[in-house]
Copies of this chain bind each other. A is one copy, B any other.
């Protein structure tokens, strides 16, 4: 089945948002999506976008059961390593279950890597859940290192009340 990986447009945001919610369900955190597709549009398609996004598209004759032709996406942003300089973080990589096993996921990942190289990024990083064995195997097979397993890195988060409390403790200028 032919498919195409291309840069997302503002008009793709409804579809990307649909798939963001599908991915949250897969990650067993369905009630965690608090943004809207309009916020996606304003954050990603403005003068200084907060992220970049690629989508996978199939021809009309191969559309999904519900009629969708945008069947996967990779959403990323640039980060900074004080050791290596500019880097890229792949925040989401998703292919609708109906379209898996055809190389779409690996094509999105490779295209994102190509973007990283074009932008002279020293690294491409992402996070994966430890129980998600197919994804962990997928990345390992492509030569990635698991820095949590190998070096002991842990991801730490402040949000909601803990973030407010921390900010309120800041010294006054």
Contact = CB atoms under 8 A, between A and B. Distances in A.
Given A107-B171, A148-B155, A152-B130, A82 B75 contact: yes
The main secondary structure of chain A at its interface with chain B is mixed
A50 to B, nearest CB: 5
Nearest to A118: B167
Contacts of A5: 170-171
A55 interface: no
Interface in A72-127: 75, 77-86, 89, 91-92, 106-107, 109-111, 113-114, 116-117, 122-127
Given A131-B152, A143-B166, A147-B157, A80 B50 contact: yes
Interface residues of A, number: 78
Contacts of A123: 157-159, 163
Nearest to A24: B83
Given A127-B155, A153-B129, A154-B129, A116 B163 contact: yes
B146 A154 contact: yes
A169 interface: yes
Contacts of A169: 106, 110, 113
9 contacts: A35-B82, A40-B82, A79-B89, A107-B170, A111-B171, A113-B158, A123-B157, A125-B156, A129-B151
